[in-house]
Protein backbone atom coordinates (compact mmCIF):
# COMPACT_ATOMS: atom_id res chain seq x y z
CA UNK A 1 0.00 0.00 0.00
CA UNK A 2 1.21 3.51 -0.78
CA UNK A 3 1.94 5.98 2.02
CA UNK A 4 -1.03 8.12 1.01
CA UNK A 5 -3.37 5.14 1.27
CA UNK A 6 -2.06 4.19 4.71
CA UNK A 7 -2.61 7.79 5.86
CA UNK A 8 -6.17 7.72 4.58
CA UNK A 9 -6.92 4.48 6.40
CA UNK A 10 -5.49 5.90 9.58
CA UNK A 11 -7.64 9.01 9.25
CA UNK A 12 -10.80 6.99 8.64
CA UNK A 13 -10.02 4.97 11.74
CA UNK A 14 -9.39 8.05 13.90
CA UNK A 15 -12.54 9.70 12.58
CA UNK A 16 -14.63 6.64 13.30
CA UNK A 17 -13.37 6.62 16.89
CA UNK A 18 -14.02 10.34 17.32
CA UNK A 19 -17.57 10.11 15.95
CA UNK A 20 -18.42 7.04 18.04
CA UNK A 21 -17.31 8.87 21.17
CA UNK A 22 -19.08 12.10 20.28
CA UNK A 23 -22.47 10.81 19.08
CA UNK A 24 -22.69 7.52 20.98
CA UNK A 25 -25.45 8.47 23.39
CA UNK A 26 -27.71 10.50 21.11
CA UNK A 27 -31.25 9.14 20.91
CA UNK A 28 -32.85 11.59 18.48
CA UNK A 29 -31.89 9.49 15.46
CA UNK A 30 -28.31 10.70 15.10
CA UNK A 31 -26.64 7.84 16.89
CA UNK A 32 -23.57 5.98 15.66
CA UNK A 33 -25.71 3.43 13.83
CA UNK A 34 -27.25 6.20 11.71
CA UNK A 35 -23.73 7.32 10.80
CA UNK A 36 -22.72 3.81 9.89
CA UNK A 37 -25.75 3.35 7.63
CA UNK A 38 -25.08 6.67 5.90
CA UNK A 39 -21.44 5.69 5.39
CA UNK A 40 -22.41 2.32 3.89
CA UNK A 41 -25.09 3.81 1.65
CA UNK A 42 -22.74 6.56 0.49
CA UNK A 43 -19.92 4.15 -0.40
CA UNK A 44 -22.40 1.89 -2.17
CA UNK A 45 -23.79 4.76 -4.26
CA UNK A 46 -20.27 5.98 -5.11
CA UNK A 47 -19.25 2.51 -6.26
CA UNK A 48 -22.39 1.95 -8.32
CA UNK A 49 -22.17 5.39 -9.91
CA UNK A 50 -18.39 5.19 -10.23
CA UNK A 51 -18.32 8.76 -9.05
CA UNK A 52 -16.66 10.88 -6.41
CA UNK A 53 -13.59 10.52 -4.22
CA UNK A 54 -14.29 7.60 -1.85
CA UNK A 55 -12.04 8.98 0.89
CA UNK A 56 -13.80 12.35 0.96
CA UNK A 57 -17.18 10.63 0.80
CA UNK A 58 -16.39 8.30 3.70
CA UNK A 59 -14.93 11.10 5.84
CA UNK A 60 -17.87 13.43 5.16
CA UNK A 61 -20.41 10.65 5.83
CA UNK A 62 -18.72 9.87 9.15
CA UNK A 63 -18.56 13.51 10.19
CA UNK A 64 -21.80 14.85 8.71
CA UNK A 65 -23.72 15.20 11.98
CA UNK A 66 -20.82 16.50 14.10
CA UNK A 67 -21.44 20.23 13.42
CA UNK A 68 -25.25 19.92 13.55
CA UNK A 69 -26.57 22.87 15.57
CA UNK A 70 -29.08 20.78 17.46
CA UNK A 71 -26.39 18.45 18.77
CA UNK A 72 -24.22 21.39 19.91
CA UNK A 73 -24.72 24.47 22.05
CA UNK A 74 -24.73 26.62 18.89
CA UNK A 75 -24.06 26.47 15.15
CA UNK A 76 -20.63 28.03 15.74
CA UNK A 77 -19.76 25.55 18.47
CA UNK A 78 -20.63 22.70 16.12
CA UNK A 79 -18.51 24.10 13.30
CA UNK A 80 -15.63 24.56 15.72
CA UNK A 81 -15.89 20.96 16.88
CA UNK A 82 -15.51 19.77 13.27
CA UNK A 83 -12.67 22.20 12.48
CA UNK A 84 -10.78 21.34 15.66
CA UNK A 85 -10.96 17.65 14.89
CA UNK A 86 -9.74 18.13 11.30
CA UNK A 87 -6.88 20.26 12.63
CA UNK A 88 -5.84 17.50 15.02
CA UNK A 89 -5.46 14.78 12.42
CA UNK A 90 -2.84 14.76 9.69
CA UNK A 91 -4.86 15.60 6.63
CA UNK A 92 -4.12 17.76 3.59
CA UNK A 93 -5.59 21.26 3.83
CA UNK A 94 -7.43 20.74 0.55
CA UNK A 95 -9.08 17.51 1.74
CA UNK A 96 -10.03 19.08 5.04
CA UNK A 97 -11.69 22.04 3.37
CA UNK A 98 -13.53 19.80 0.87
CA UNK A 99 -14.90 17.71 3.73
CA UNK A 100 -16.21 20.83 5.47
CA UNK A 101 -17.83 22.06 2.27
CA UNK A 102 -19.49 18.70 1.62
CA UNK A 103 -20.92 18.61 5.15
CA UNK A 104 -22.17 22.19 4.97
CA UNK A 105 -24.08 21.52 1.77
CA UNK A 106 -25.62 18.23 2.90
CA UNK A 107 -28.35 19.26 5.34
CA UNK A 108 -31.96 19.52 4.25
CA UNK A 109 -33.00 22.94 5.65
CA UNK A 110 -36.69 22.69 4.97
CA UNK A 111 -36.20 21.96 1.28
CA UNK A 112 -34.92 25.30 0.02
CA UNK A 113 -31.29 24.35 -0.41
CA UNK A 114 -30.35 25.74 -3.80
CA UNK A 115 -26.59 25.35 -3.51
CA UNK A 116 -24.61 23.76 -6.31
CA UNK A 117 -23.36 20.50 -4.88
CA UNK A 118 -20.12 18.67 -5.61
CA UNK A 119 -20.53 15.04 -6.66
CA UNK A 120 -19.35 13.96 -3.20
CA UNK A 121 -21.94 16.20 -1.51
CA UNK A 122 -24.67 14.82 -3.79
CA UNK A 123 -23.79 11.28 -2.77
CA UNK A 124 -23.56 11.94 0.99
CA UNK A 125 -26.80 13.92 0.87
CA UNK A 126 -28.55 11.04 -0.91
CA UNK A 127 -27.20 8.58 1.65
CA UNK A 128 -28.42 10.74 4.56
CA UNK A 129 -31.83 11.21 2.96
CA UNK A 130 -32.21 7.46 2.29
CA UNK A 131 -31.82 6.88 6.02
CA UNK A 132 -34.70 9.27 6.72
CA UNK A 133 -37.15 7.23 4.61
CA UNK A 134 -38.27 3.60 4.50
CA UNK A 135 -38.54 1.30 7.51
CA UNK A 136 -35.61 3.11 9.09
CA UNK A 137 -37.16 6.50 8.47
CA UNK A 138 -40.42 5.42 10.10
CA UNK A 139 -38.55 4.27 13.20
CA UNK A 140 -36.50 7.47 13.34
CA UNK A 141 -39.53 9.73 12.96
CA UNK A 142 -41.26 8.19 15.98
CA UNK A 143 -38.05 8.09 18.00
CA UNK A 144 -37.47 11.78 17.31
CA UNK A 145 -41.11 12.63 18.03
CA UNK A 146 -41.05 10.73 21.32
CA UNK A 147 -37.90 12.46 22.46
CA UNK A 148 -39.42 15.85 21.59
CA UNK A 149 -42.69 14.95 23.29
CA UNK A 150 -44.70 15.55 20.14
CA UNK A 151 -47.82 13.48 19.45
CA UNK A 152 -47.80 10.41 17.19
CA UNK A 153 -50.59 12.14 15.29
CA UNK A 154 -52.92 15.05 15.98
CA UNK A 155 -55.71 15.63 13.45
CA UNK A 156 -56.01 19.23 14.68
CA UNK A 157 -52.52 20.15 13.51
CA UNK A 158 -52.21 21.48 10.00
CA UNK A 159 -49.64 20.06 7.63
CA UNK A 160 -47.02 22.71 6.94
CA UNK A 161 -46.25 22.43 3.23
CA UNK A 162 -43.73 25.27 3.33
CA UNK A 163 -41.70 26.12 6.40
CA UNK A 164 -38.74 28.17 7.45
CA UNK A 165 -35.82 26.41 9.15
CA UNK A 166 -37.02 27.78 12.49
CA UNK A 167 -40.57 26.53 11.98
CA UNK A 168 -39.19 23.18 10.90
CA UNK A 169 -37.14 22.89 14.10
CA UNK A 170 -39.42 24.54 16.62
CA UNK A 171 -42.94 24.57 15.21
CA UNK A 172 -45.66 22.24 16.36
CA UNK A 173 -45.91 19.01 14.43
CA UNK A 174 -46.68 15.35 14.86
CA UNK A 175 -44.64 12.41 13.69
CA UNK A 176 -47.32 11.53 11.13
CA UNK A 177 -47.34 15.15 9.86
CA UNK A 178 -43.58 14.87 9.43
CA UNK A 179 -44.13 12.28 6.69
CA UNK A 180 -46.11 14.83 4.67
CA UNK A 181 -43.87 17.75 5.58
CA UNK A 182 -40.61 16.04 4.65
CA UNK A 183 -40.30 12.29 4.30
CA UNK A 184 -42.62 11.72 1.32
CA UNK A 185 -40.86 14.54 -0.56
CA UNK A 186 -37.38 13.11 -0.27
CA UNK A 187 -37.65 10.55 -3.09
CA UNK A 188 -38.02 13.37 -5.61
CA UNK A 189 -35.13 15.35 -4.17
CA UNK A 190 -32.44 12.71 -4.65
CA UNK A 191 -29.42 13.43 -6.84
CA UNK A 192 -28.28 10.05 -8.15
CA UNK A 193 -29.99 7.25 -10.09
CA UNK A 194 -28.68 4.67 -7.65
CA UNK A 195 -30.29 6.45 -4.70
CA UNK A 196 -33.53 6.92 -6.65
CA UNK A 197 -33.60 3.18 -7.24
CA UNK A 198 -32.92 2.46 -3.56
CA UNK A 199 -35.66 4.92 -2.58
CA UNK A 200 -38.45 3.10 -4.42
CA UNK A 201 -39.03 0.32 -1.88
CA UNK A 202 -38.48 2.75 0.98
CA UNK A 203 -41.04 5.21 -0.34
CA UNK A 204 -43.55 2.47 -0.94
CA UNK A 205 -43.32 1.07 2.58
CA UNK A 206 -44.01 4.56 3.98
CA UNK A 207 -47.11 4.89 1.81
CA UNK A 208 -48.34 1.47 2.85
CA UNK A 209 -47.62 2.29 6.45
CA UNK A 210 -49.60 5.54 6.34
CA UNK A 211 -52.47 3.85 4.57
CA UNK A 212 -52.70 1.22 7.31
CA UNK A 213 -52.12 3.83 10.03
CA UNK A 214 -55.24 5.74 9.01
CA UNK A 215 -57.33 2.59 8.68
CA UNK A 216 -56.45 1.78 12.27
CA UNK A 217 -56.75 5.39 13.45
CA UNK A 218 -60.28 5.53 12.13
CA UNK A 219 -61.16 2.24 13.75
CA UNK A 220 -62.02 0.36 10.57
CA UNK A 221 -59.44 -2.40 10.95
> What, of ligand ADP, Ni ion, none, does residue 134 touch, CB below 5 to 8 Å by kind?
none
d(CA 211, CA 221): 11
Which residues of this chain interact with ligand ADP, rule CB under 6 A?
A: 29-30, 68, 107-108, 128, 132, 137, 140-141, 144-145, 173, 175, 178, 183
Min CB(127)–Ni ion separation in Å: 9
Min CB(55)–ligand ADP separation in Å: 22
d(CA 24, CA 18): 10
Is the Cβ of residue 44 or residue 153 nearer to Ni ion in the bound state?
A: 44
> What, of ligand ADP, Ni ion, none, does residue 52 touch, CB below 5 to 8 Å by kind?
none
Are 216 and 179 in contact by the 8 Å Cβ rule? The answer is no
Q: Which of residues 53-72 bind Ni ion (CB under 5 A)?
A: 65
Which segments of 53-92 does DSSP mark as H helices, in order?
Answer: 54-63, 75-88
d(CA 171, CA 25): 25
- Stretch in the footprint of Ni ion (CB under 5 A) among 52-60, 70-78, 126-134, 194-202: 126-134
Helix (H, G, I), strand (E, B) or coil at 195: helix
Is the Cβ of residue 7 or residue 71 nearer to Ni ion in the bound state?
A: 71
Min CB(75)–ligand ADP separation in Å: 13
> Binder to Ni ion among 58, 120, 128, 181 (CB under 5 A)?
128
> What, of Ni ion, ligand ADP, none, does residue 137 touch, CB below 5 to 8 Å by kind?
ligand ADP
Give, rounded to a whole angstrom, the gap between the first and last alpha carbons of the chain.
60
Are 176 and 198 in contact by the 8 Å Cβ rule? The answer is no
Amino acid sequence: MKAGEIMKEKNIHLTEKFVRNTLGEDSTGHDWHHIERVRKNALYIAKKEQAGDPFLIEMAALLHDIPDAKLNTSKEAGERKLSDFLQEIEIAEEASSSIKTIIESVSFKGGNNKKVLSVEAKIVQDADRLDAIGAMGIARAFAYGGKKGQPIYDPGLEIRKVMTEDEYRNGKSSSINHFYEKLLKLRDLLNTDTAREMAEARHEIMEQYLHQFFIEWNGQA
